[in-house]
Amino acid sequence: MKIPKRLDLTRSCFYQLPDDTANIIGYELMYRAKYPGIFKIRSGTTFFFELQNAQARDAFLNSLEVSCRQSGLITQRTTLY
Chain CA centroid to CA 73, Å = 14
Ranges under pLDDT 70 in the chain: 80-81
Per the structure, how many domains does the chain have?
A: 1
Residue 76 lies in a domain: no
Residue 29 lies in a domain: yes
Domain that holds residue 46: 12-70
The answer to whether the predicted template modeling score (pTM) of the entire model surpasses 0.85 is no
- Residues 6+ away with beta carbon under 8 Å from 57: 11, 12, 13, 49, 51
C-alpha dist (Å) from residue 28 to 1, 15, 66: 18, 11, 20
The pLDDT value given to residue 28: 92
Residue 79 lies in a domain: no
